[in-house]
Amino acid sequence: MVAAYVALTKPRIIELLLVTSVPVMFLAEGGVPPLGLVLATTVGGILAAGSANTLNCLFDRDIDERMRRTRRRPLPRHVVAPRQALIFGVVLGLVSTIWLGVLVNWLSAWLALAANAFYILVYTLLLKRRTSQNIVWGGIAGCFPVLIGWAAIRDSVDWVPVVLALVVFFWTPPHTWTLAMRYRDDYAAAEVPMLPVVASERNVAWQVVAYTAATVAASLAVWPLARTGWFYPVAAGVLGAGVLAEAVAMLARVVRGKSGLDLRPMRFFHWSNIYLALVFAAIAIDPLLTG
């Protein structure tokens, strides 16, 4: 039963959020931040993300039942009842808000609460089932961990974390669309209008290239704005060239007439995961080398 509740929180997604929040704390501090503060922010972030993901599972349980990729989640298998999931999600949200407010600062607590509200009310309940642009605007929720990490150190938000949040904003659609290309039939069966369900593969591939280029541009804009040392722009440039080349390669496969799994969309999906993790690792490493 404990494993079922843990599964509701979607631990793999939580890992991705921590990849963006903790490195930003190093940048905001200009070196190694207080480890106690990092731990408190991390725990609060895990609780907040777990709350949002649990409530997402609750409201999307009908979709999850119709998708092969998600039908083994606790609610479709009836391992956890909807009422129990609701209580669990709300309690996690309340605890995370109090935890961050008391042990970190109230700005980070309100940002975490705003992220949860946006993810559930705007993405899950409003956008996901209604528009192919669902993940574009719904992905804003994934930008908040960057702001929370900065706010935990500075107790404020300025242009540096906003531009870093744009990296996540532009990164999210192509990352999600390539996963949706792999599971297109699942999304179609669940009547979720992800872009690969309603648009041609050529259209999707072009948009993957465009959003990836925007992601790389945003990552490079951090350099002059944050006045980083030499390490970050070199790392961001090399990593950006690699992920953009992978996006262009997928487009080239479309142009050559390949389709479906022959496009190897999951290749880009995995590369984009690595890209984001390493770019934010570079954000943390740079002040250690040049601070």
Answer yes or no: is pLDDT of 275 > 90: yes
**pLDDT tens readout for residues 142-178:** 999 999 999 999 999 999 999 999 999 999 999 999 9
Query: What is the torsion angle, in degrees rounded to the nearest 10, for the CA atoms of residue 77, residue 138, residue 197 and residue 178?
Result: -90
SS percent in the chain: helix, strand, coil, step 5: 80, 0, 20
Model pLDDT, residue 16: 81
Give the mean model confidence (pLDDT) for residues 256-270.
Answer: 90
Summary mean pLDDT of the chain: 95
Q: Which residue has the higher pLDDT, 73 or 290?
A: 73
pLDDT band at 17 (very low <50, low <70, confident <90, very high): confident
Q: Quick one: pLDDT band at residue 291, thresholds 50, 70, 90?
A: low
* DSSP output for 249-275: HHHHHHHTT--GGGG-HHHHHHHHHHH
Q: What is the mean pLDDT of residues 30-39?
A: 96
Supply 75's token pair. Answer: 């609610």
Of 69 and 152, the one with more pLDDT: 152
pLDDT of residue 258: 86
Contact 99, 51 (CB under 8 A): no
State yes or no: pLDDT of 1 exceeds 80: no
Span 213-228, mean pLDDT? 96
Contacts within 8 Å (CB) and 24+ apart, 74-79: 74/4, 74/5, 74/7, 74/8, 75/8, 79/1, 79/4
Domains of the chain: 1-155 (1.10.357.140), 158-291 (1.20.120)
* Per-residue pLDDT tens over the stretch 103-142: 999 999 999 999 999 999 999 999 999 999 999 998 899 9
